[in-house]
Structure 1
């Protein structure tokens, strides 16, 4: 769909990171569709920032595989590339496995409760077919371990690869296959509660690799 009219954010004091996040989220949620041309003037009017943070944000998005730039010609939203998405998914799965393994000894009961509540919101969102709420709840669930593990490199890598995965997962969460994650989430919580870091890590990895079923149909 076209770039929305009006300011996405009221303040004109957006930093380059804010511009990057706004554009990234619009691409991931489909507001900016694959193949759509991104024109500086339209993005400046939408986000209320100058050209410099827009260009910096687009450069970062190109590195993340979310936009394609032809110097001097055009910048467009990248199509969903199955091979790149599979690669990003494999990395994300490995990072979440590592996060859970390292987080288990650090998790308090409050953390496990937060994961359980997030999984409950996730299940409700799937029943309502509310993709935005499902993605947010899933992020909340996995984010507990990512924060608790205290490994800054895990977060850095996930920030790079997760948007590519989320573009495809938005499709998965509207299907029956997405509902299997509810039971897997519950299993991860119980393994964490039991102190089984290896088992919880394996379940986390498997959970992030379930997207392969969807991608296999897109070859």
Structure 2
């Protein structure tokens, strides 16, 4: 397992979440590749934590479909799997559809501006070929609707579904096809400004279902 050079000391109060997020992000960004064996001792050295939060994090990652555990044998980064990715995509699309439907009646002018700024920043990032910034701005756009919708279960389900998608979503945001997202976001904003929650919800769902995932 390739251990990142920087040792990350985890704040005690956020230990479990930070260990989970550190491992999740390393899998999502490709630092830990599909098939990579995850050894507790190496993770301990990297993150500077005990084995208990590591095991808890690995269980969460297994539930999210990012690792495969063989009790008594090994834990490895899960391979790309088209069926699992499509399943996660369908769940994410439904959750973002619900988030938009709940959020539109509650959106303030400030929050509508947040959506516009995020979409403009996404467009700039795509024009610059900055995939990481594009992913960040796409997240920022959708997070406004999830936050304003005020349904905590939506966020919890997306925490499970999104990482599995994000591992291969870079393929889209590194391509010209990602530019469709800017126009799709603009249509969502227009529906939201018009107070049309149903249209915004449908457009949000279509935005997520339009992503095409191809494993190497």
Normalising by structure 1, we get a TM-score of 0.94
1:87 Cα shift? 0.2
1:11 Cα shift? 4.1
d(CA) in 1 for partners of 2:194 and 2:33? 44
Query: Match of 2:54, SS?
Result: helix
d(CA) in 2 for partners of 1:23 and 1:178? 27
Q: 1:10 aligns to what? A: 9
Q: 1:154 aligns to what? A: 154
d(CA) in 1 for partners of 2:206 and 2:4? 37
d(CA) in 1 for partners of 2:129 and 2:54? 33
Alpha carbons 2:104, 2:196 under 8 Å: kept: yes
d(CA) in 1 for partners of 2:17 and 2:10? 14
Alpha carbons 1:16, 1:57 under 8 Å: kept: yes
Q: 1:126 aligns to what? A: 126
d(CA) in 2 for partners of 1:183 and 1:39? 44
Q: 2:113 aligns to what? A: 113
Q: CA RMSD in A?
A: 1.5
Q: 2:20 aligns to what? A: 20
Deviates more, 1:22-31 or 1:101-110: 22-31
Q: 2:191 aligns to what? A: 191
d(CA) in 1 for partners of 2:93 and 2:197? 15
Instruction: State whether structure 2 residue 76 is matched by structure 1 residue 60.
Output: no
Alpha carbons 1:15, 1:53 under 8 Å: kept: yes
Alpha carbons 2:82, 2:213 under 8 Å: kept: no
What are the within-5 Å matches in structure 2 for residues 59-208 of structure 1? 59-208=59-208
Gaps of 5+ in 2: none
Deviates more, 1:62-71 or 1:125-134: 125-134
Query: Match of 2:34, SS?
Result: coil
Alpha carbons 1:6, 1:45 under 8 Å: kept: no
Alpha carbons of structure 1 residues 95 and 11: separation in structure 2 relative to 1, 3 Å: closer
d(CA) in 1 for partners of 2:117 and 2:31? 29
1:128 Cα shift? 2.0
For residues 100-139 of structure 1, the C-alpha deviation after alignment (integer angstroms, 9 at most, x for no partner) is 0110000001001001111111111112222211111111
d(CA) in 2 for partners of 1:125 and 1:83? 30
d(CA) in 2 for partners of 1:66 and 1:214? 16
Query: Match of 2:76, SS?
Result: strand
d(CA) in 2 for partners of 1:101 and 1:40? 43
1:177 Cα shift? 1.0
Runs of 4+ in 1 over 6 A off after TM superposition: none
